[in-house]
Chain A
Amino acid sequence: MAIENPPTQGAARKGDRIFLGLSRGSGIALLVIMAAIAVFLTWRAALAISADEGNFLTTFEWDANGDPPVFGIAVLAFGTVVSSIIAMVLAVPVAVGIALFISHYAPRKMATTLGYVVDLLAAVPSIVYGLWGALFLVPHLTGLYEWLDQFLGWTGLFAYEGGAARSLFTVGILLAIMILPIVTNVSREVFRQAPKMHEEAALALGATRWEVIRISVLPFGRSGVISASMLGLGRALGETMAVATVLSPSFLISASLLDPGGGTFAQNIAAGFKEAGSMGRDALIASGLVLFVITLLVNGAARLIIARRKEYSGANA
């Protein structure tokens, strides 16, 4: 009865309508903002790309203020992707380890403290990471570089010729530290939500702690860890100041990860923007568009992976 004719019907309808309007408005606002960014990037980029005398995708040069303008994004795309991959390879296993330790191994007090430290890591601004990287990390990596050269130099990937360690590899290490907190935090929340029943069932079957984690927690958390990694990857792809401070950029692709050189989209925009003329600015915006597209592709891929495993609906929402 109450459902058919509730006394507060009028108010409820009004509230419903307002809330519907607000939430629909937020959704639309998001789409409008994204569309506005995409239109702006595409429009300015089209101007630049049509004036480009080089091949926008394959030229190893960036002389957008020159006459005629010659520029290409090959080096930037390579550097952005490679440094982000290095960061992911280094950060994700460690982040999953920290998350599991906090959610399943550590005593309560220690877990709280550790969680606090991880949050603190997230609160450090990227320029501070950059300064730390340039003043502390770079001079202290020379030893590691020499070691890598000695044992892995034959692969060509880790050949080192001396000099300051300001390469894509160092950038990858720094980015790994920067994305650690976000990957850890999201993974930790996911692992915490692993159904207690599954864990207890596994324990009842005589599983050890590691086996419990392997058969009940990790499969449940897999898609969550993937979306956590994608959030981290997003940050790594777009990181600007820290990269600009640490990397020694150049428009060359080197076979060795330890050679100074290369560049990333965001770093190149930061470095070129201040002195850019109107063509230079449009060219930088065109490179921003490529980064936008790469990020979209990465997110799309992550969605696909997650969609294939629907057990954890939270990541799909």
Chain B
Amino acid sequence: MKLQRTNRLRAAAVGALAVSGALVLSACGSDNNSGGSGGESTSKAASNIKCGEDANLLASGSSAQKNAMDIWTQTYQSACSGTQINYKPTGSGAGIQEFLQGKTAFAGSDSALKPEEVAQSKKVCKSGQGIDLPMVGGPVAVTYNVSGVDDLVLDAETLGKIFDSEITKWNDPEIKKLNPDAKLPGTKIQAFHRSDESGTTDNFTKYLNSAAPSAWKHEPAKAWAGKGGQGADGSSGIATNVKQNDGAIGYVELSYATGNDLNSVKLDTGASEPVEATTDNASKAIADAKVTGKGKDLALELNYKTKTEGAYPIVLVTYEIACDKGNKKDSLDAMKSFLTYTASEDGQKALGDKGYAPIPDEIIAKVRTTIDSLS
């Protein structure tokens, strides 16, 4: 009996292996395809990279940066084969923890270091402290699935009320006022938020809290604080649920909205035209940000109430976090060389078609000078 059973298990395992093997293979295939289109520009951009000393560069953090890091790493390593870059998308919190414990050379994070984290960083940076370098931006799209509606305009006020379950039907007068021409059905609104803690939630609620404080009274945080609605795991979880449910609305990074063919809300910011969620429009909003970090720290404060024409204010800015002084000696040179590339014009341009917004010129220039001075 026992023998027979192990055989059966073995057969099952072989079957499962075959299936997963096929999945892995096909996954690799699609990866190569998407990377292939950028192949030519990759080799051209690679020629401008100044390599550092060979090193093994470890980093971890924000998963929102993962795709950007993949592209950068690929290009950088094709020019500097002596340097191995390993970026683990563990999430911002875990990335900062690993950086503070001295396990990684730099961290990727969706939010700037908190004061107590800066204090802790003095231990690992010895002579210096941890600083924030804004490196990639990205619009957070509000996607929806309402049958018969494919052009929807909302503002911060209505968004706040929808996500706090104060507006519960799609034909609510407040939504009608913003969309006089749309045929809004009486469907129940199903608002989806992230159930895992996330920088996307943090930035989305920062926007709501700052642009519509009367409609959204909760403190912005990585964990969802709103009333009602449904939670879903990860951006892909939200995209799937919005797609599956008529009457659904949710917020995701732009690439998830375009990747799943979902409609995105146009924002009425007070500018003459409602603004679409695009990378260009996100860059315009980031250009309106103030640098609030002190010294070499370049932490940004976004202006969520911006009324600049074409500026889309729900944006996420992700940082690389390193020491200003006292970085690890063996990887310092490689890190400076890699970050110089990511902040360069080529590095920033490489991201446009992946749903990322380049950091505007004035700010990225400061980032470049700061990277140059890292020691």
**Contact between B12 and A272 (Cβ–Cβ < 8 Å)?**
no
Contact flag A123-B13 (CB < 8 Å), given A115-B8, A248-B231: yes
Q: A163's contact among B190, B231, B233, B237, by CB below 8 Å, is which?
A: B190
Q: Which of B194-202, B265-273, B293-301, B336-344 contacts A (4 or more CB under 8 A)?
A: B194-202
Is there an interface contact between B240 and A135, defined as CB atoms closer than 8 Å? yes
Cβ–Cβ < 8 Å partners of A93 in chain B: none
Q: Which 9 A-B pairs have the closest CB atoms?
A: A274-B91, A275-B197, A248-B230, A275-B93, A271-B196, A123-B12, A248-B231, A249-B195, A260-B230
The complex places the Cα of A281 from the Cα of B94 at a distance, in Å, of 10
Q: Which residue of A lies closest to B245 (CB)?
A: A164
The residues of A that contact B232 with a CB separation of less than 8 Å are 166, 248
CA distance A245 to B241 in the complex (A): 11
Interface string of A272-294 (1 = CB under 8 A from B): 11111110110000000000000
Q: Which residue of A lies closest to B89 (CB)?
A: A274
Stretch binding the partner chain, chosen from A62-70, A200-208, A297-305, A308-316: A62-70
CB–CB B197/A123 < 8 A? no
Within the complex, the shortest CB–CB distance from A313 to chain B, in Å, comes to 19
B206 at the interface (CB under 8 A from A): no
Check if B230 sits within 8 Å of A274, measured CB to CB: no
Which residues of chain A are within 8 angstroms of B215 by Cβ–Cβ distance?
A: none
The answer to whether B92 has its CB under 8 Å from any CB of chain A is yes
Q: Kindly state the separation between the CA atoms of A281 and B188 in the bound complex, as whole angstroms.
A: 37
Residues of B with Cβ closer than 8 Å to A? 4-5, 8-9, 11-13, 15-16, 63, 90-94, 96-97, 117, 188, 190, 195-199, 221-223, 230-233, 237, 240-241, 244-245, 248
A245–B232 CA distance with the chains assembled, in angstroms: 7
Range of interface residues on chain A? 35 or more
Residue of B4, B221, B223 with highest tally of chain A CB at under 10 A: B223
Q: Within 8 Å CB of A139, what residues of B?
A: 244
> With contacts A119-B5, A166-B232 known, what are 15 further pairs, Cβ within 8 A?
A66-B221, A115-B5, A134-B237, A138-B244, A164-B244, A244-B195, A248-B195, A248-B230, A248-B232, A274-B93, A274-B197, A275-B199, A275-B222, A276-B94, A277-B117
B195 and A271 within 8 A (CB): yes
Residue in chain A with minimal CB distance to B96: A277
Residues of A within 8 A of B (CB): 62-63, 65-66, 112, 115-116, 119-120, 123, 134-135, 138-139, 162-164, 166, 244-245, 247-250, 260, 270-278, 280-281
Could you tell me the distance between the alpha carbons of A62 and B223 in the complex, rounded to whole angstroms? 9
Tell me whether A277 and B244 are in contact in the complex, defined as CB-CB below 8 angstroms, given that A120-B12, A272-B223 are known contacts: no
B223: chain A residues at CB < 8 Å are 62-63, 65, 272
Instruction: Give complex CA distance A138, B241 in Å.
Output: 10
Q: Is the Cβ of B9 less than 8 Å from the Cβ of A119?
A: yes
What A residues does B4 contact at CB under 8 A? 112
Closest Cβ–Cβ distance, residue B181 to chain A (whole Å): 27
Residue with the greatest number of chain A CB neighbours at <10 A, chosen from B5, B92, B196: B196
In the complex the two chains form, is B12's CB within 8 Å of A280's CB?
A: no
Q: Would you call B240 and A274 a contact (CB within 8 A)?
A: no
Known: A119-B12, A123-B13, A244-B195. A163 touches B94 (CB 8 A): no
Contacts of B198 in A (CB 8 A): 275
